[in-house]
Structure 1
Amino acid sequence: MDIFFVGTYNCKADAKGRVMLPVTLKNQITPILNDGFVIKRSMYAPCLELYPMYEWNTVMQELNAKSRYEKDNIDFIRKFTAGLKQVEIDTTGRLLIPKNLTTLVGITKDVVLASIGKNIEIWDKDRYEQEINVAPEEVASLAKKVMGGKDKTDGVS
């Protein structure tokens, strides 16, 4: 089952690192709630990434297909999975973020849950605002770099 999450949500973390999911996000997660989730630090930004278990299994299948006789492959897998934890969302819709991970990315009280397709980023609100508040020219340049190449095969411009 492929689920693409939608939305960006401002939340609060309590002293134990529990974040109550907004109803809209909880409704999106409900079909896969019992499967569990994996949370890890991002390699590219000061945030955490929450993967539904089915999506994490897909990622791991791709990584496990890499040769274990290539040092770069092992080094990458080790760094990519460092600090990884399996987590659940309880029946009231709370996600408990492990303390070592909240400390690692500076999450205190104000949290942003930002969907990025098949997984969700978890940010300290101030850091998230810094990350997304960039000049329009920078966004346009990035959009052209990522989306404006010559690899279009679906006819969409």
Structure 2
Amino acid sequence: MLLGEFNHSIDDKGRLIIPAKLREELGESLVICKGLEGCLFVYSQDEWESFVDKLETLPLMNKAARTFKRYFFGSASDSTFDKQGRVLIKPELREAAGLEKDVVLVGVQDHVEIWDKARWEEESDVSEEDMDAIAGQMEAMGIQI
């Protein structure tokens, strides 16, 4: 399971060191694509295939489903680690997520999110009241803790 928050930097060539803890979980081959809320998603090959299986169930005749598929598949890029544990993030993906130098990697169970550090600080600043409201929404979906 992918867990934790890690601060790193992207070098001038667009390479990012993935922490060893996350590399072990991701395996040798991974897929990087646009994520939601302005980040990138990083999937192991197995988790990507699981995600693809879910997307394949979407109806072809539904415009929102087609748009959703294009968003993820159109931006997806296969990647592997170099000898230093780095991945190259394509310029288009860096631009889409506003990644320039300082980034935060967040393990989110089945994938890793890559955030611009300033954007992550805004996104992760959740008040206690907001979290209570979110917990209520999760309970409505059947999640109880």
Pairwise same-fold verdict (TM > 0.5): yes
Higher strand share: 2
In structure 2, C-alpha distance between the alignment counterparts of 1:82 and 1:13, rounded to whole Å? 23
Secondary structure of 1:7's aligned partner: strand
Q: 1:106 aligns with which of 74, 81, 98?
A: 98
Which residue of 1 is the match for residue 110 of structure 2? 118
Following superposition, the deviation at residue 93 of structure 1 comes to: 0.6
TM-score by length of 2: 0.89
In structure 2, C-alpha distance between the alignment counterparts of 1:11 and 1:77, rounded to whole Å? 30
Return the index of the structure with the highest Cα Rg.
Answer: 1
Query: Is residue 19 of structure 2 the alignment partner of residue 22 of structure 1?
Result: yes
Distance 1:7 1:68, change over 3 A: same
* Structure 2, gaps ≥5 residues long: none
Distance 1:13 1:69, change over 3 A: same
Query: Is residue 13 of structure 2 the alignment partner of residue 40 of structure 1?
Result: no
Structure 1 counterpart of 2:44, one-letter code: P
1:16–1:99 CA contact under 8 A, matched in 2 = no
Distance 1:91 1:54, change over 3 A: same
2:22–2:107 CA contact under 8 A, matched in 1 = no
Which residue of 2 is the match for residue 65 of structure 1? 57
Task: State, as a whole percentage, how many aligned pairs show the same letter.
Answer: 30
* Structure 1, gaps ≥5 residues long: none
In structure 2, C-alpha distance between the alignment counterparts of 1:61 and 1:119, rounded to whole Å? 15
Following superposition, the deviation at residue 137 of structure 1 comes to: 0.6
Which ranges of 4 or more aligned residues in structure 1 deviate by more than 4 Å?
none
Which residue of 2 is the match for residue 83 of structure 1? 75
